[in-house]
């Protein structure tokens, strides 16, 4: 498979580009922020995504979806990133769908996701830095389990209909085995969410599980074997976040290059200055490197390549987009000069959103460390 988008994927990208730019440009985020919107995204927009068929992009056709792959999901995510559109697409249509895929829980939740009625959130992080440890306890109780513990950085956690929860059913927090993944309805008793507004004006919740009772059929996959669906969730989430970061970095770069062409100083466009040309050309090069790495990870995920190779490619994609996009937003502000520091101008929104996504599902350091360990050093 050549490492560029094929014709169908290019068409989908063009459709997604027009759709997202029209319905959820940066001004959409700004309006939600200015209104101090308590949901954090537009449910109407989520419905429109559904009407386009996009919510079921990774859901098999037999279950009402489009049956497409991670390249296609990434194409949509890149446009979401480019427009900084607040959307549950990454958590719900990409990460949660991949976790649920093939499980008994899929039949229960997929129709709502496809229809744009259901939003899923991911309760996987317990510390301020993403890591593999799972401490939240799930103990057998009656016909099901009792969940006790806490999760944080749960995007949309306060309004989601479904939580995908990583819990420990055996062993200690750092053990690889003994993890079970649960599909927990948001209205379960004993579950509380404290949403906090983040730097990018999105909302993420700290979630408390105080003896939350769930049925045995809330288990996704097998008890104690949750690393399997959690692994699918993370590979999809990390690759998806990388695609969204690519959009953010690309959007910030386009805005910056546009500014270099129109802003005049000393009677000429500042883009004619070699010092700025070199910064812009360097930035462009770094973004292109990141773009190729993201597509590589998506293609390997879609072809079901060797697990070790896929994991490596996913970590490379997440790490390199973290680096390249950080560079893009930093250079964006620098080259905009003072106006880049104003709230009125959009470039700062890119910087804030990039930081949040760079942290989500593991930052540059997390993924570099993971690659180093896999390579035996």
Partner 1 sequence: MSGLDTFRADTRVWLAENCPPEMREPVRSDADICWGGRHFAPSSPAQKDWLDRMAARGWTVPDWPKEYGGGGLSAAETKVLREEMAAIRARNPLNSFGISMLGPALLKYGTEEQKLEHLPKIARGEIRWCQGYSEPNAGSDLAGLAASAEDGGDHYIVNGQKVWTSYADKADWIFCLVRTSKASKQGGISFVLFDMESPGVSTKPILLISGYSPFCETFMDNVKVPKANRIHDENKGWDVAKYLLGHEREMISGMGLGGGGRNPLIEGAIATVGLDHDGRLADPVLRTQIALFEVRAKAFAAMSERFIDELKAGRAHPAQPSMMKYVGTELNKDRHELMMAAGGSDALEWESERSNTGAAPRAWLRTKANSIEGGTSEVQLNIIAKRILELPGA
Where does this chain bind partner 1 (CB under 8 A)?
Answer: 2-4, 257, 260-261, 268-269, 271-274, 276-278, 280-282, 284-286, 288-293, 295-296, 312-313, 315-317, 319-320, 323, 364-365, 367-369, 371-373, 375-377
Shortest Å, Cβ 191 to partner 1: 36
The residue assigned the tokens 């690393």 is 227
Nearer CB in complex with partner 1: 308/373 = 373
Nearer CB in complex with partner 1: 198/269 = 269
> Which is nearest to 202 in space by CA: 238, 153, 169, 163?
153
Per DSSP bridges, beta strands 219-220 and 191-197 are unpaired
Per DSSP bridges, beta strands 264-265 and 219-220 are unpaired
Nearer CB in complex with partner 1: 199/281 = 281
Which residues, listed in sequence order, are joined to residue 181 by a DSSP beta bridge? 166, 220
Whether 156 and 91 have beta carbons less than 8 Å apart is answered as yes
Nearer CB in complex with partner 1: 339/374 = 374
Shortest Å, Cβ 325 to partner 1: 13
Nearer CB in complex with partner 1: 65/312 = 312
Whether 151 and 124 have beta carbons less than 8 Å apart is answered as yes
- Per DSSP, the three-state class of 156 is coil
Nearer CB in complex with partner 1: 2/338 = 2
Q: How would DSSP label each residue in 48-68?
A: HHHHTTGGGTTS-GGGTS---
- Lookup: tokens for 273: 């200055």
Distance separating alpha carbons of residues 159 and 119, to the nearest angstrom: 8
Shortest Å, Cβ 360 to partner 1: 17
Rounded-to-5 percentages of helix, strand, coil across the chain: 55, 15, 30
Shortest Å, Cβ 272 to partner 1: 4
Shortest Å, Cβ 201 to partner 1: 30
Which residues, listed in sequence order, are joined to residue 138 by a DSSP beta bridge? 147
Whether 53 and 32 have beta carbons less than 8 Å apart is answered as no
Shortest Å, Cβ 319 to partner 1: 4
What phi, psi does 227 have (nearest 5°)? -65, -25
Nearer CB in complex with partner 1: 8/215 = 8
Shortest Å, Cβ 291 to partner 1: 8
């Amino acid at each position: 498979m050549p490492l560029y988008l094929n014709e169908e994927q290019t068409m989908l990208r063009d459709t997604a580009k027009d759709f997202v730019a029209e319905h959820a440009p940066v001004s959409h985020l700004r309006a939600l922020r200015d209104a101090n919107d308590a949901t954090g995204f537009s449910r109407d927009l989520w419905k429109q995504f559904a009407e386009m068929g996009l919510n079921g992009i990774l859901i098999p056709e037999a279950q009402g979806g489009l049956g497409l792959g991670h390249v296609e999901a990434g194409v949509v995510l890149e446009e979401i990133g480019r427009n900084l559109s607040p959307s549950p697409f990454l958590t719900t249509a990409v990460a949660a769908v991949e976790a649920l895929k093939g499980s008994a829980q899929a039949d229960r939740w997929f129709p709502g996701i496809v229809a744009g009625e259901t939003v899923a959130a991911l309760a996987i992080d317990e510390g301020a830095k993403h890591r593999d440890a799972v401490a939240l306890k799930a103990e057998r109780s009656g016909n099901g389990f009792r969940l006790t513990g806490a999760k944080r950085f749960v995007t949309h956690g306060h309004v989601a209909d479904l939580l995908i929860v990583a819990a420990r059913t055996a062993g200690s927090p750092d053990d690889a085995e003994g993890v079970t993944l649960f599909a927990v309805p948001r209205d379960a008793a004993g579950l509380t969410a404290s949403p906090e507004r983040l730097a990018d004006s999105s909302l993420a919740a700290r979630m408390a599980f105080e003896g939350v009772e769930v049925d045995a059929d809330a288990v996704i996959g097998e008890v104690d074997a949750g690393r399997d669906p959690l692994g699918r969730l993370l590979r999809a989430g990390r690759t998806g976040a990388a695609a969204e970061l690519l959009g953010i970095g690309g959007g910030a770069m386009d805005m910056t290059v546009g500014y270099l062409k129109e802003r005049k100083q000393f009677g000429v466009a500042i883009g004619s200055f070699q010092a700025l040309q070199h910064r812009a050309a360097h930035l462009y090069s770094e973004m292109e490197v990141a773009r190729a790495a993201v597509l590589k990870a998506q293609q390997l995920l879609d072809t079901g390549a060797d697990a070790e190779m896929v994991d490596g490619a996913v970590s490379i994609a997440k790490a390199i987009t973290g680096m390249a996009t950080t560079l893009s937003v930093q250079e964006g502000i620098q080259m905009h000069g003072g106006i880049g520091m104003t709230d009125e101008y959009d470039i700062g929104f890119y910087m804030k959103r990039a930081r949040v996504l760079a942290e989500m599902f593991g930052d540059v350091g997390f993924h570099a460390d993971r690659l180093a360990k896999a390579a035996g050093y």
